[in-house]
Amino acid sequence: MIRCSSLGRTGLVASICLRFLRDTKEPRDRILQIVPSSFDKQDELVWLPNASGDYTSKSDYALARLSTQSHITDQFPWRKSVWNLNTPPKVQTFLWRSMNGALPVGSVLLTRGLHAEAKCKRCGELETPLHLFLTCPFAARIWDRIPALFKPDASTITSVSNLLISNMRMINLPPTGLGTSPIYPWLYWHLWKARNILIFEDRSWTEAELVLKIIKDVRCWEEKFYFEKMKNFFFSLNYFLFII
Ligand SMILES: [Zn+2]
């Protein structure tokens, strides 16, 4: 730990310390370039992420998460892959949570000290979002039954962001009547629901039941979407006829 003297500005001292920890290139020269404050105050070490200057493990954890995830989420095509999808807001938010490590799956619970909850209840592997959505044998059997082209290849996908990007290529197959509504957001939604029902209610859906629920929900959403579109069209037409 570095303790600088005669600088008189606590934020500056902490900033130097943090920079030194991150970047070990010539710290002595960097420190010597700083112009000391004219105020005659005592130097002290402070933790910049907290307004109070006190270190807390919570702020440290938040900082660590920010530094590891921001570069991934900054480059992710959020509009194409999440917010502009023809799917309900609750499912879009669920995808957003999945991408941001906000789903309480086993790997997340493990970081909070809950070791007993870390394994997948179906296969015993570590439960990560990617495991739940793609690599778990149960998820793989669901993917096999989904009527779509260009499904993700589990051997080449390494993260949820990769998975969602690869999903953009998928095309629904007839005769399921799914229209333009993507099927995969509902697949993830129902895998999550099936996982929670298994853990909290000790009940299990078969692969066939789960696929049926997915297709039924996509169809319902597509019908609702089409109905709203037609309603808006006729409303606009009536308004046009009324004003001429
Ligand atoms: Zn599993």
Give the pLDDT of residue 27. Answer: 60
**Which long-range contacts (C-beta less than 8 Å, at least 24 apart) are formed by 148-152?**
148/172, 148/173, 148/183, 148/184, 149/173
- Ligand 1 center to residue 132 CA distance, Å? 6
Over residues 145-171, the pLDDT tens digits come to: 999 999 999 999 999 999 999 999 999
What is the CB neighbour count within 10 angstroms for residue 108? 17
| Mean pLDDT computed over 23-29 | 59
Mean pLDDT, the chain, integer? 80
pTM for the complete prediction?
0.66
Angle between helices 184-201 and 89-99 (to 10 degrees): 80
State the chain's maximal CA–CA distance in angstroms.
Answer: 81
Q: How many helices (H) and strands (E) does the chain have?
A: 11, 2
Every domain of the chain and the residues it spans: 10-55, 71-240
- The CA 47 to ligand 1 mean position distance, Å, reads 41
* In the predicted structure, residue 10 carries a pLDDT above the cut 50: no
Residue 56 Cα to ligand 1 midpoint, Å, equals: 35
Radius of gyration of the chain (CA): 26
Would you give the DSSP letter of residue 34? Answer: S
